[in-house]
Chain A
């Protein structure tokens, strides 16, 4: 009975929106993963604290960005979670507004690199992750460089992320770096991948495939984000996280406030709460998100499943959101012309 009632209530709330003015509501738009964990660690405690109601919209970034754009004149969403590059795109399109950082009591606890990642306080990082090479130590002795992905000994054993995924450009960024170039067009990396196209098993679109493919012996090497590591290590106990000599790359997810929101104060309060030690701690312990809050401390075992700590963050070569946004179409173009066919 209760779940049905809740469902009916949320449908009603969605359809009538502001009509239920006696109940304060805040609409947030997030990635679809780990919603149960977020509910427990973030949504439910926040609702209790603010005496308001959260409406959660989930989906992949492009869907949610398209919706944001379509509803720009009368925004539905108040706070949106994105990758830093998506947030920059939304900011460029005038879909978001600066965060009222004066209202963020937890700002001082946030790592410097996450405080204003795209400039103008248009977004604030809530989690970050490292991205590196993973390999099955039962099959491969070790991977020391991003260029090893194209070595003869790994022929027919590597799955690379497609350029269309979030991890794809990150991998190309490191391959280009390993080739001694900082060219944002990744020209050398594209040529190298194209040359070895037939040696690569597949260019994956969903990171979730990797544990299965490695378990089946279909591949023994890939490139993944740390958020997928726990799952891989569980499925393939002999899997190892490589530390290539060029270092690892990574990314950041951020929160942004939608332009024209009618709940600006509540939105700020929500962003602040997400960054609080309490919430960041719970999300870290659930292996949901690596914390950006300095005060979070976790056990070594939990830390292994995350990208934990400022020292580690310092070693990550982040691909700047500006570079990502400016070159994304060109990468896809070059990839389709040289690698996809």
Chain B
């Protein structure tokens, strides 16, 4: 666009300087605490962190819930996205609006709604008792289940939206063609739809997984301190123990998990392109 590349570089400078000074540098300084051990630099803080049983448990719980939430969102997400793509234009607009609406409500408000819904006198327990499935109300709040439900609701739209756009780019004829050639619906999904919409799944999966890893309000309110996640543990380390080294370690772990997921999912998507 520019004959002189230097003009382009110069135009890039202000934004770059802002990112470097306002984001990368402070984050770097903050995270460097994680590698700062008594005598110098090293990964001692990380081995200390994983040496504690509680920390290992919290790490696995965070990871596990992230996988569950992403997996279930993907399964439900395909069902919803296929329905929306298939709907008439008017209905499509309505359905997408319904899907997006919760995103406009603060996660704090949504999470508090779950406290009421999942409570002992909440609608879920009332229904379970009234239908005879349970004799007495179950304790759902302050458990992994509650966090799981809260996270699904929080991040589900972020899975569906990329899937919708991926499905809309799917050539209209491929499904009828596959059917005509004798594929059943399962085969159509696994061999045609899934491979052709993998990019949407990668984008949605990354958003949901990273979102689940880093959400704070939902685990804090629905799980409480009996069901710690990495982000609630991080808060505890900073605000109670003033332990910035451990907090830095947790932050690094979260960032690394997010980056690895993104890279892995991108690889998955790219593998398909290469193999075609």
Residues in chain A within 8 A of chain B (CB atoms) = 60, 62-63, 65-66, 156, 162-164, 197, 200-205, 209, 212, 216-218, 328-329, 332, 336-337, 340-341
Report the nearest B residue to A65, measured CB to CB.
Answer: B242
A341 to B120, Cβ gap below 8 A? no
- The answer for the CA separation of A104 and B67 in the assembled complex, in Å, is 60
CB neighbours of A162 from chain B (8 A): 225
- The answer for the CA separation of A20 and B53 in the assembled complex, in Å, is 54
- The answer for the CA separation of A202 and B115 in the assembled complex, in Å, is 13
B19 contacts A by Cβ under 8 Å: no
B239 to A60, Cβ gap below 8 A? yes
CB neighbours of B116 from chain A (8 A): 216
B236 contacts A by Cβ under 8 Å: yes
For window 202-244 of B, CB contacts with A under 8 Å fall at 220-221, 224-226, 228, 236, 238-242
A205 to B220, Cβ gap below 8 A? yes
B57 contacts A by Cβ under 8 Å: yes
Report the nearest A residue to B53, measured CB to CB.
Answer: A341
**Which residue from B53, B121, B221, B224 sits with its C-beta under 8 Å from A216?**
B121
CB neighbours of B221 from chain A (8 A): 209
For window 243-275 of B, CB contacts with A under 8 Å fall at none
**Which residue from A65, A328, A341 sits with its C-beta under 8 Å from B57?**
A341
A202 to B240, Cβ gap below 8 A? no
CB neighbours of A216 from chain B (8 A): 115-116, 119-122
A204 to B226, Cβ gap below 8 A? no
CB neighbours of A340 from chain B (8 A): 54, 225-226, 228
A218 to B120, Cβ gap below 8 A? yes
CB neighbours of B191 from chain A (8 A): none
In the assembled complex, 28 residue pairs joining A and B whose CB atoms fall closer than 8 Å, in A order, are A62-B239, A65-B242, A162-B225, A163-B240, A164-B225, A164-B236, A164-B239, A164-B240, A200-B226, A201-B139, A202-B225, A205-B220, A205-B224, A216-B115, A216-B116, A216-B120, A217-B119, A218-B119, A218-B120, A218-B141, A328-B241, A332-B240, A336-B52, A337-B52, A340-B226, A341-B53, A341-B54, A341-B57
A203 to B139, Cβ gap below 8 A? no
Residues in chain B within 8 A of chain A (CB atoms) = 52-54, 57, 115-116, 119-122, 139, 141-142, 220-221, 224-226, 228, 236, 238-242
B241 to A332, Cβ gap below 8 A? yes
Q: Tell me, rounded to whole Å, the shortest Cβ–Cβ distance linking B61 to chain A.
A: 10
Report the nearest B residue to A338, measured CB to CB.
Answer: B54
Q: Is the interface of A mostly helix, strand, loop or mixed?
A: mixed
Given A201-B142, A329-B241, A341-B54, 10 more pairs with CB closer than 8 A: A201-B139, A202-B142, A204-B225, A205-B224, A216-B119, A328-B241, A332-B236, A337-B54, A341-B53, A341-B57
CB neighbours of B225 from chain A (8 A): 162, 164, 202-205, 340
CB neighbours of A66 from chain B (8 A): 242
- The answer for the CA separation of A51 and B239 in the assembled complex, in Å, is 36
Most chain B CB within 10 A, of A63, A162, A337, A341, is at A341
Report the nearest A residue to B240, measured CB to CB.
Answer: A164
Rank and list the top 6 A-B pairs by shortest CB-CB distance, nearest first: A164-B240, A202-B224, A216-B119, A202-B142, A162-B225, A341-B54
Q: Tell me, rounded to whole Å, the shortest Cβ–Cβ distance linking B161 to chain A.
A: 33
B54 to A336, Cβ gap below 8 A? yes
- The answer for the CA separation of A45 and B141 in the assembled complex, in Å, is 46
Q: Tell me, rounded to whole Å, the shortest Cβ–Cβ distance linking A156 to chain B.
A: 7
Report the nearest A residue to B57, measured CB to CB.
Answer: A341
CB neighbours of A341 from chain B (8 A): 53-54, 57
CB neighbours of B139 from chain A (8 A): 156, 201
CB neighbours of B240 from chain A (8 A): 62, 163-164, 328, 332
B224 to A204, Cβ gap below 8 A? yes
A217 to B121, Cβ gap below 8 A? yes
- The answer for the CA separation of A336 and B53 in the assembled complex, in Å, is 9
Q: Tell me, rounded to whole Å, the shortest Cβ–Cβ distance linking A16 to chain B.
A: 21
B242 to A203, Cβ gap below 8 A? no
Q: Tell me, rounded to whole Å, the shortest Cβ–Cβ distance linking A325 to chain B.
A: 11
CB neighbours of A201 from chain B (8 A): 139, 141-142
CB neighbours of B53 from chain A (8 A): 337, 341
- The answer for the CA separation of A60 and B54 in the assembled complex, in Å, is 26
B226 to A203, Cβ gap below 8 A? yes
Report the nearest B residue to A62, measured CB to CB.
Answer: B239
CB neighbours of B239 from chain A (8 A): 60, 62-63, 164
CB neighbours of A203 from chain B (8 A): 224-226
Q: Tell me, rounded to whole Å, the shortest Cβ–Cβ distance linking A83 to chain B.
A: 13
Q: Tell me, rounded to whole Å, the shortest Cβ–Cβ distance linking A168 to chain B.
A: 9
- The answer for the CA separation of A69 and B142 in the assembled complex, in Å, is 36
CB neighbours of B52 from chain A (8 A): 336-337
- The answer for the CA separation of A212 and B239 in the assembled complex, in Å, is 24
Report the nearest A residue to B55, measured CB to CB.
Answer: A336
A62 to B120, Cβ gap below 8 A? no
Report the nearest B residue to A331, measured CB to CB.
Answer: B240
Most chain B CB within 10 A, of A60, A164, A204, is at A164
